[in-house]
Structure 1
Amino acid sequence: MRKSIKFILTLILVINMLATTILAAGTEPPPASADGVVLMDANSGTIIYSKNMDTQYPPASTTKIMTALLALEKSNLDDEVVVSKTAPFADGSKIYIEEDEKFTMKDLLYALMLQSANDAAEAIAEHISGSTEEFATLMNERAKELGCTNTNFVNPHGLYDENHRTSAHDLALILKELSSHPEYIEIAKTPMYYIEPTNKQTEQRPIWNKNRLIQSSDKYYYADALAGKTGYTVESMHSFVAVAERDGVRLIAVLLHDSAHTYWDDVRSLFDWGFDNFSLATFIKQDDSLGTYSVSNEISIPIAAATDFNYLKDNSSTDVPTLKILDKDISQQSFKKGDLILKGQILLGEESLGELDICAEEDYTFNSSIFQKNDSEESKKENSTNIFMSVLKYVGIVLLILVVLLRTRKVIIDKKRKKRKLETMKKNMYFQRYYKK
């Protein structure tokens, strides 16, 4: 019995280790009660820590980061949005928009990100795609483009549906893309916003940001926080996604399916652990010489880094990246000093950290006559080789014919000799018989 219990406990430990990934660091990450967890470097997409990161969970209102991303990609902030008949009846959190009420896309994004307004989410979806169903299709298409593999959205706000699922990793990929938009960061880090009177509303609508990390008077205030989005339904439980930046390092945290409602403390601890154990390091600086690159057998040109390349360094590791220049035929193109001509892959062990743009350090003019001359010489060599091979082939054929003829002649001669010998033998036999008589 004791052996069985020991085996079961060991099996549970192994399964837990397989589900949890930690990029090498000096200390263990702090515990997080959510079932799905990711801590990601926002610049490279490197996963620093994860727990069940590819397991599907209902995301609740963290869904709205995809809605916000599509709003920024498919419209302008000053676009006018006219509310449909259906959007005002969205369930859950709302700002109580009215049919035919007119808003700017900017106002609806503030309502979406700060107030988590479901009616604003539906108004945005219908403005972009005509219906929430078509918008969900667009959401899923964009998710696939971002590399999401465990996501299926069926609505723009995250109200519970058994088919509405994503993973901590996928949400981190979406937030990585969204946080690259300065407009999103500006909106998401705003503690309070007022929507001005509209054609249907005579008074301002005040909107408070539900992300307690950016409220300076809140006990959960986190000075490095840039953005965040909460989510909750009874079935989905608590979820939270956030972005924080310190000393040039920008991190993304995702906590999905949390029954304990401890994500405010958990996310701050995860961010602190990430910032304490990882730092921004410069591998290559802009204009650093990278040696020479062979344009042809006779010509090489000096090349240099077109940009800085920074990466997230594990403070406990002494490993350094390496540069692999990606081969490309540039022999028949002209370029000037500073033109981008190549790309390099930055590797840390077998892991790719990203690509580096590489430029020429001097002008180069493609001279077709040189290449034509080279081609001509190559053609002559090839023709000479072809002629030589042809001669060898014909000589071989002639020799083969001679061998066949000689062998045929020998066979004929041998046959004639045998025939004469046989005739002689017959004559001798005849005479012998004749004289005996």
Structure 2
Amino acid sequence: MVRQKWAQALLCVFISILGLGINGGPVFAQTEEVNHGLIEAHSMSISADAAILMDATNGETLYNKNAHKQRPPASTTKILTAILGLELGRPDELVVVSEKAAAVGESTIHLDPGEKILLYELITGAMVKSGNDACVAIGEQIAGTEKDFVRLMNQKAFLIGAKNTHFVNTNGLPNKNHYSTAYDLALMARYGLQIPAFTSITRLKETEIHFIEPDFFMNLRNTNKLLWNYPYTDGVKTGTTTAAGKCLVAAATKDGRQLIAVVLNAPNRFGDAQKLLEWGFSNTETITIAQAGDVVDVSREGSEPLMAFVQQPLQVSVLKKDEEKLEKKIQWTRDSHLPIDGGEEIGVYEVWLNEKKLGSTPLYAECRAEIFDGWDLKGRLTNLIEGK
């Protein structure tokens, strides 16, 4: 039974490569980091050794201070443990606590061997109360052993785009080979926040979990003080060890826009995170250049119509003062010979700021085109976007 469950879990992780999703979980294109932040790191007073502010919509970096520096992540590790627990398990799975899980120390929910509890309650205990023992129990339930579950965690992290991360346990207890970065943790949070159950848990200030056997309830209080002090907060997770210092992965939504702040080794972690989030909401914005399915008319009077469509949305994050400076361009990437088949990639829609490309998305011919009377297709596309 354990071997079968392990095989199913491994398959589910790799399915995400194909963009098929897992148990209704999110699938979105990963955005490469296209900037090092919109302002210089030293222009904002942040106590953290490493920090990042990310736009949750498109994954772009708004602020960067040593965001790719590998550091101990402490209990922010549990973000990925919770993601896999929700994706690979059933909320109503009954978990029998093992002696190994019950023996885990430091921050715990005081599990005892043989206790029975639902998987969803364990995930809640891991994220709200930061239960190290709950994380081990989750891993054993999903993959049979914590070691095998950690293999899944590392595979999942890589698929999400967290390529400077390596975990050796489920909870973030200190180990020299257990590390991540502010950028990678922001990617994990961004992924998790697309899972409704994940967001529901991370927003909890206080809650209780129910043990099936013996039958009792345990009250939990979230360690994330931003939930009380900052009204836009969506969670996500605190973390503290001597090696890692005080850490926080925080998300907030204001006026329909969600931002993610990560601060590692931050003496003033809650103040740092709130400062980053407020700066982002006040000084930056997400601009939608094109929506998926938008159509560009590149036809010419007297010739066969040629329409190009955008397959993926193009969104960029900029300082509000720079919005009017954005330039939109279309670059022809196909030879100009005819015919052009429907669905064929013909060009790239780009957005630029101060001679720097911020992002792009491919353009595809909407239908087959045969005759253009010697028309210079490349020139026509360029002129179109410039309004000529």
TM-score (norm 1): 0.67
Q: Distance in 1 between matches of 2:310 and 2:36?
A: 33
**DSSP-derived class of the 1:110 partner:** helix
Conservation of the 8 A alpha-carbon contact between 1:113 and 1:229: yes
Q: AA paired with 1:235?
A: A
Q: Distance in 2 between matches of 1:126 and 1:53?
A: 32
Shift of 1:77: 2.4
The superposition leaves residues 370-414 of structure 1 with CA deviations (integer Å, 9 ceiling, x where unpaired) of 9xxxxxxxxxxxxxxxxxxxxxxxxxxxxxxxxxxxxxxxxxxxx
1:248 to 252, 256, 275: 256
1:274 correspondence with 2:280: yes
Q: Distance in 2 between matches of 1:36 and 1:106?
A: 32
1:90 correspondence with 2:104: yes
* Alpha-carbon distance change, 332 to 279 in structure 1, aligned in 2, over 3 angstroms: closer
Shift of 1:21: 4.6
2:317 aligns to what? 312
1:23 to 14, 38, 44: 38
1:99 correspondence with 2:103: no
* Alpha-carbon distance change, 168 to 308 in structure 1, aligned in 2, over 3 angstroms: closer
1:143 aligns to what? 157
Q: Distance in 2 between matches of 1:81 and 1:334?
A: 53
1:347 correspondence with 2:347: no
2:208 aligns to what? 194
**DSSP-derived class of the 2:288 partner:** strand
Q: AA paired with 2:307?
A: P
Q: Distance in 2 between matches of 1:287 and 1:157?
A: 42
* Alpha-carbon distance change, 235 to 199 in structure 1, aligned in 2, over 3 angstroms: same
Q: Distance in 2 between matches of 1:178 and 1:145?
A: 13
* Alpha-carbon distance change, 28 to 290 in structure 1, aligned in 2, over 3 angstroms: farther
Shift of 1:346: 4.1
Q: Distance in 1 between matches of 2:185 and 2:243?
A: 18
Shift of 1:328: 7.7
Shift of 1:308: 6.0
Q: How does 1:5-20 map to 2 (within 5 A)?
A: none
**DSSP-derived class of the 1:280 partner:** strand
1:168 aligns to what? 182
1:109 aligns to what? 123
Q: AA paired with 2:134?
A: A
Q: Distance in 1 between matches of 2:57 and 2:346?
A: 22
2:224 to 206, 211, 224: 211
**DSSP-derived class of the 1:316 partner:** helix
* Alpha-carbon distance change, 325 to 75 in structure 1, aligned in 2, over 3 angstroms: farther
Conservation of the 8 A alpha-carbon contact between 1:59 and 1:256: yes
Conservation of the 8 A alpha-carbon contact between 1:247 and 1:280: no
Q: Distance in 2 between matches of 1:189 and 1:244?
A: 10
* Alpha-carbon distance change, 108 to 351 in structure 1, aligned in 2, over 3 angstroms: farther
Structure 2: gaps (5+ residues):
1-34, 371-388
Q: Distance in 2 between matches of 1:192 and 1:354?
A: 43
Conservation of the 8 A alpha-carbon contact between 1:279 and 1:312: yes
Q: How does 1:8-87 map to 2 (within 5 A)?
A: 21-24=36-39, 29-87=43-101
Q: Distance in 2 between matches of 1:62 and 1:80?
A: 25
**DSSP-derived class of the 1:274 partner:** helix
Highest CA radius of gyration, 1 or 2?
1
Shift of 1:288: 4.6
2:289 aligns to what? 283
2:245 aligns to what? 237
Q: AA paired with 1:250?
A: Q
Conservation of the 8 A alpha-carbon contact between 1:305 and 1:359: no
Q: Distance in 2 between matches of 1:197 and 1:347?
A: 54
1:393 aligns to what? none
Q: Distance in 1 between matches of 2:117 and 2:333?
A: 52
Superposition CA RMSD, Å: 3.3
Q: AA paired with 1:196?
A: H
Q: Distance in 2 between matches of 1:321 and 1:89?
A: 59
Higher helix share: 1
Q: AA paired with 1:163?
A: N
Structure 1: gaps (5+ residues):
1-19, 216-220, 371-437
Shift of 1:256: 0.8
Q: Distance in 1 between matches of 2:142 and 2:80?
A: 13
**DSSP-derived class of the 1:196 partner:** strand
1:158 aligns to what? 172
Q: AA paired with 1:353?
A: G
TM-score (norm 2): 0.75
Conservation of the 8 A alpha-carbon contact between 1:44 and 1:353: no
Q: Distance in 2 between matches of 1:354 and 1:84?
A: 50
Q: AA paired with 1:115?
A: K
2:298 aligns to what? 292
Conservation of the 8 A alpha-carbon contact between 2:95 and 2:137: yes
Conservation of the 8 A alpha-carbon contact between 1:287 and 1:307: yes
Q: Distance in 2 between matches of 1:354 and 1:94?
A: 46
Shift of 1:353: 3.2
Q: Distance in 1 between matches of 2:208 and 2:341?
A: 56
Moved more, 321-330 or 240-249: 321-330
Conservation of the 8 A alpha-carbon contact between 1:326 and 1:345: no
* Alpha-carbon distance change, 286 to 332 in structure 1, aligned in 2, over 3 angstroms: closer
Q: Distance in 2 between matches of 1:235 and 1:75?
A: 32
Shift of 1:281: 2.5
**DSSP-derived class of the 1:184 partner:** helix
Conservation of the 8 A alpha-carbon contact between 1:286 and 1:305: yes
The superposition leaves residues 245-288 of structure 1 with CA deviations (integer Å, 9 ceiling, x where unpaired) of 21232211111123x2x111111111111111102333235665
